[in-house]
Amino acid sequence: MTLPRVKILINREKCYLCGSCVAVCPKEAIIIESEEWRFFQEKCIGCKFCILACPVGALTAKEVE
Ligand code: SF4
Ligand code: SF4
């Protein structure tokens, strides 16, 4: 089964850079660098673990082609 490709979007007003999403991502598709949350589309497999892990609901997924 292939998961749909998604882009993970962040609400920067909610995110407090706790790192939970970084910790659960199996592909290192999210990093926090210089106090900035960053997403790498090419690494993401669309598992959405990051969305489930975020304690403040700052992440959402948008399907992409
Ligand atoms: S959907 Fe999965 S692979 Fe993509 S950024 Fe979130 S945890 Fe990582
Ligand atoms: S889990 Fe949520 S609050 Fe924590 S760094 Fe990721 S997006 Fe930000």
Q: Which residue do the tokens 């999210």 mark?
A: 30
CATH number, domain of 45, equals 3.30.70.20
Residue 40, Cβ neighbours under 10 Å: how many?
Answer: 13
Q: What share of the chain is helix, strand, coil (3-state, %, to 5)?
A: 20, 30, 50
Ligand nearest to the CA of 50: 1
Residue 18 lies in a domain: yes
What's the total number of domains in the chain?
1
Ligand 2 site, residue 25, Cβ cutoff 6 A: no
Residue 1 lies in a domain: no
CA distance between the termini of the chain: 17
Residue 55's domain comprises 6-63
Q: How far apart are CA 13 and CA 40, in angstroms?
A: 20
**Residue 50, burial from CB neighbour count under 10 angstroms (0-12, 13-18, 19+):** buried
Q: pLDDT tens string for the chain (65 positions)?
A: 778 889 999 999 999 999 999 999 999 999 999 999 999 999 999 999 999 999 999 999 999 97
Ligand 2 site, residue 51, Cβ cutoff 6 A: no
pLDDT of residue 19: 98
